[in-house]
Amino acid sequence: MSLLAVRRVSKRFGGLQALSEIDFDIGPGEIVGLIGPNGAGKSTLINAVTGVYPPDAGTIHFDGHELTGLAADRIARLGVGRTFQIPQPFGSLSCLENVVVGLLFAGKVASVEAAAAEARAILEFVGLGDKAALAPGSLTIVDLRKLELARALGTGARLLLLDEINTGLTAAEITEAIRLIERVKQRGTAILMVEHLVRVIMGACERIIVLDFGRKIAEGTPDEIARDPAVIRAYLGGQKGGGDAGR
């Protein structure tokens, strides 16, 4: 029984077909990677699943609920969380409050006090425990990414969509990030992560989906993907397009 079922999802922006007949499943507790050259449609897919905009065609089901056409906040309350490629915390709130928002509104925690306590625990979990009182404006990029994760965790998500959460990190930071993601998986959360870094994909993901020009061109284990000629062609046949149109 799959947790997330994406069936023939398509999305067009003006003249650009950003997604074409995307079809895949994610099971409970799985870590799945989503890779592809720039402009392949990875962020578009995440946006479509989380309700930022509806797909033009196809359906998305999560744990029996139909997500297609639902508002983004409703989808969050159903248990789908996400991070943003460019960290976008609530600038007027402290790190603690940033996580509290998710707990109160998506996580359905009853009281502000309970939410504050749980938020503190989540911040500890990601390694930001000592920065709870700070405003996000003073955080480093590493910490901002951790905050993104913390905020997404606060929503109580059973499926987390991570959008390039490791970009800009040093090798040591990436190792730590992988460990963190492992710990998230151990809590039973399924993860779909958009990634560029081969190390992370090969190391952390059980299964990989490959997009190119809005189409799914391959799906399989890391080893299978590494040997797939279509994937190699997509990547080594030249980086496609400089822009992030339709991502």
Partner 1 sequence: MGALRRLRRELIVAALMLGLPLLLLTLVRELFVLQVLTFVFIFAIYAQSWNLAAHSGQFSLGHATFLGLGSYASIIAASRLGLAPAVALFVGPILPALAGFAIGALCRRLREAYFGMVTFGCTAIVQVLVVEQFGWLTNRWDGLDAPRLAPEGLPVERVAVLNYVISLALMVATYLVVAAIIRSRIGLAFVAIHDNETVAAAAGVSVVRYRLLAMGVAGYIGGVAGALNGHTLTRHISPGVFGLEDSIWPVLYSIAGGLGTPEGPILGTLLVRVFWEWALRRIGGFDSLILIGLMLALVVTALPRGIYPVFARATAALGARLTPNSVKQP
Among 4, 26, 31, 76, binds partner 1 (CB under 8 A): 76
Q: x-or-dash pattern for partner 1, window 107-146, by CB under 8 A?
A: x----xx--x---------------xxxx-x---------
Q: Name which position in 52, 121, 141, 232 contacts partner 1 (CB under 8 A).
A: 52
Q: How far is the CB of 52 from partner 1 (least distance, A)?
A: 6
Q: For residues 162 and 231, which CB has a smaller minimum distance to partner 1 in the complex?
A: 162
> Given candidates 11, 42, 82, 247, which one binds partner 1 under the rule CB under 8 A?
82
The CA-CA-CA angle for residues 44, 2, 84, to 5°, reads 30
Q: Compute the Cα dihedral for 137, 143, 144, 146 and give only its sign.
A: negative
**d(C-alpha 147, C-alpha 136), whole Å:** 8
Q: How many CB atoms lie within 10 A of CB 13?
A: 13
**Cβ–Cβ under 8 Å, residues 3 and 63:** yes
The least distance separating partner 1 from the CB of residue 232, rounded to whole angstroms, comes to 35
What CA–CA distance (Å, rounded) separates 79 from 94?
24
CA distance 124 to 179: 14
Site string for partner 1, 168-207 (x = CB under 8 A): ----------------------------------------
User: CB 20 → partner 1: shortest distance, Å?
Assistant: 25
Instruction: Please report whether residue 96 would count as binding partner 1 according to CB under 8 A.
Output: yes
- Report the site for partner 1 in 148-167 (rule: CB under 8 A): 151-152, 154-155
Residues that bind partner 1 (CB under 8 A): 50-52, 71-74, 76-77, 81-82, 84, 88-94, 96-97, 100-102, 104-107, 112-113, 116, 132-135, 137, 151-152, 154-155
